[in-house]
Protein backbone atom coordinates (compact mmCIF):
# COMPACT_ATOMS: atom_id res chain seq x y z
CA UNK A 1 0.00 0.00 0.00
CA UNK A 2 1.27 3.48 -0.90
CA UNK A 3 0.89 5.56 2.28
CA UNK A 4 2.65 8.64 0.90
CA UNK A 5 0.61 11.09 -1.18
CA UNK A 6 1.08 10.73 -4.94
CA UNK A 7 -0.05 12.96 -7.81
CA UNK A 8 -2.13 11.41 -10.57
CA UNK A 9 -4.50 12.89 -13.16
CA UNK A 10 -4.43 16.32 -11.52
CA UNK A 11 -5.20 15.12 -7.96
CA UNK A 12 -3.24 14.17 -4.86
CA UNK A 13 -4.07 10.63 -3.65
CA UNK A 14 -3.36 8.46 -0.63
CA UNK A 15 -4.15 4.74 -0.52
CA UNK A 16 -6.15 3.95 2.63
CA UNK A 17 -7.69 0.95 4.33
CA UNK A 18 -11.17 2.11 5.38
CA UNK A 19 -10.93 0.16 8.65
CA UNK A 20 -7.79 2.00 9.78
CA UNK A 21 -7.75 5.03 12.04
CA UNK A 22 -4.93 7.20 10.78
CA UNK A 23 -3.50 10.68 10.75
CA UNK A 24 -3.51 12.37 7.35
CA UNK A 25 -1.06 15.22 6.75
CA UNK A 26 -1.03 17.86 4.02
CA UNK A 27 2.06 20.01 3.47
CA UNK A 28 0.96 23.50 2.40
CA UNK A 29 4.39 25.16 2.61
CA UNK A 30 4.54 26.04 -1.10
CA UNK A 31 1.17 27.80 -1.00
CA UNK A 32 2.07 29.69 2.19
CA UNK A 33 5.33 30.83 0.59
CA UNK A 34 3.45 31.98 -2.53
CA UNK A 35 1.10 34.19 -0.49
CA UNK A 36 3.74 35.29 2.03
CA UNK A 37 1.83 34.27 5.13
CA UNK A 38 1.47 31.63 7.83
CA UNK A 39 -1.41 29.30 8.63
CA UNK A 40 -3.39 30.25 11.72
CA UNK A 41 -6.36 27.92 11.42
CA UNK A 42 -7.70 24.88 9.59
CA UNK A 43 -11.04 23.16 9.18
CA UNK A 44 -11.76 19.90 7.36
CA UNK A 45 -14.47 18.96 4.91
CA UNK A 46 -14.73 15.20 4.34
CA UNK A 47 -16.78 13.11 1.94
CA UNK A 48 -19.69 10.95 3.04
CA UNK A 49 -18.56 7.83 4.89
CA UNK A 50 -15.37 9.36 6.30
CA UNK A 51 -15.35 10.24 9.99
CA UNK A 52 -13.09 12.81 11.64
CA UNK A 53 -11.74 11.26 14.86
CA UNK A 54 -9.45 14.12 15.86
CA UNK A 55 -10.13 17.60 14.43
CA UNK A 56 -7.54 19.17 12.15
CA UNK A 57 -4.71 21.21 13.61
CA UNK A 58 -1.99 23.44 12.17
CA UNK A 59 1.54 22.17 12.80
CA UNK A 60 3.73 24.76 11.14
CA UNK A 61 3.23 24.24 7.40
CA UNK A 62 1.46 20.89 7.86
CA UNK A 63 -2.26 20.37 8.36
CA UNK A 64 -3.03 17.20 10.33
CA UNK A 65 -6.31 15.33 10.98
CA UNK A 66 -7.18 11.80 12.17
CA UNK A 67 -9.71 9.95 10.00
CA UNK A 68 -11.45 6.60 9.61
CA UNK A 69 -14.02 5.13 7.24
CA UNK A 70 -14.78 5.20 3.54
CA UNK A 71 -17.74 5.56 1.21
CA UNK A 72 -18.14 2.17 -0.49
CA UNK A 73 -20.72 3.28 -3.07
CA UNK A 74 -19.82 2.72 -6.72
CA UNK A 75 -17.86 5.67 -8.13
CA UNK A 76 -17.83 7.41 -4.74
CA UNK A 77 -15.32 10.20 -4.29
CA UNK A 78 -13.48 9.85 -0.99
CA UNK A 79 -11.59 12.95 0.07
CA UNK A 80 -10.52 15.28 2.83
CA UNK A 81 -10.26 19.01 2.16
CA UNK A 82 -8.18 21.15 4.49
CA UNK A 83 -9.63 24.68 4.52
CA UNK A 84 -6.69 26.81 5.66
CA UNK A 85 -6.96 30.33 7.10
CA UNK A 86 -3.82 32.48 6.97
CA UNK A 87 -2.57 35.31 9.16
CA UNK A 88 -3.15 37.76 6.27
CA UNK A 89 -6.84 36.62 6.04
CA UNK A 90 -6.31 34.63 2.81
CA UNK A 91 -8.15 31.30 2.77
CA UNK A 92 -7.40 28.34 0.53
CA UNK A 93 -8.24 24.64 0.21
CA UNK A 94 -5.94 21.64 -0.14
CA UNK A 95 -7.74 18.40 -1.03
CA UNK A 96 -6.39 14.88 -0.74
CA UNK A 97 -8.33 12.07 -2.47
CA UNK A 98 -8.35 8.50 -1.18
CA UNK A 99 -8.23 5.18 -2.96
CA UNK A 100 -9.41 2.09 -1.16
CA UNK A 101 -6.66 -0.38 -0.33
CA UNK A 102 -7.65 -3.20 2.02
CA UNK A 103 -4.90 -4.65 4.19
Q: Is the pLDDT of residue 1 over 80?
A: no
Phi, psi for 84 (deg, rounded to 5): -95, 135
3-state SS record for 13-79: EEEECCCCCEEEEEECHHHHHHHCCCEEEEEEEECCCEEEEEEEEEECCEEEEEEEECCCCCCCCCE
Which residues lie below 8 Å from residue 34, measured CB to CB, with a gap of 6+? none
What structural domains and CATH numbers belong to the chain?
Answer: 12-98 (2.60.40)
Q: Is the pLDDT of residue 92 over 80?
A: yes
Query: Which tens digit of pLDDT belongs to each residue from 26-85?
Result: 999 999 999 999 999 999 999 999 999 999 999 999 999 999 999 888 788 899 999 999
**Whose CA is closest to 51, among 62, 33, 66, 32?**
66
Confidence grade of residue 18 (pLDDT, cut at 50, 70, 90): confident
* pLDDT recorded at residue 2: 56
Which residues lie below 8 Å from residue 42, measured CB to CB, with a gap of 6+? 56, 57, 58, 63, 82, 83, 84, 85
pTM, two decimals, is 0.89
Q: Is the pLDDT of residue 3 over 80?
A: no
Q: Are 98 and 18 in contact (CB under 8 A)?
A: no
Amino acid sequence: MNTAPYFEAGRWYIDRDPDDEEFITADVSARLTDIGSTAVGVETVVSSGITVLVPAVVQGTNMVVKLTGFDDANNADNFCTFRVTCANTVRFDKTIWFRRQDN
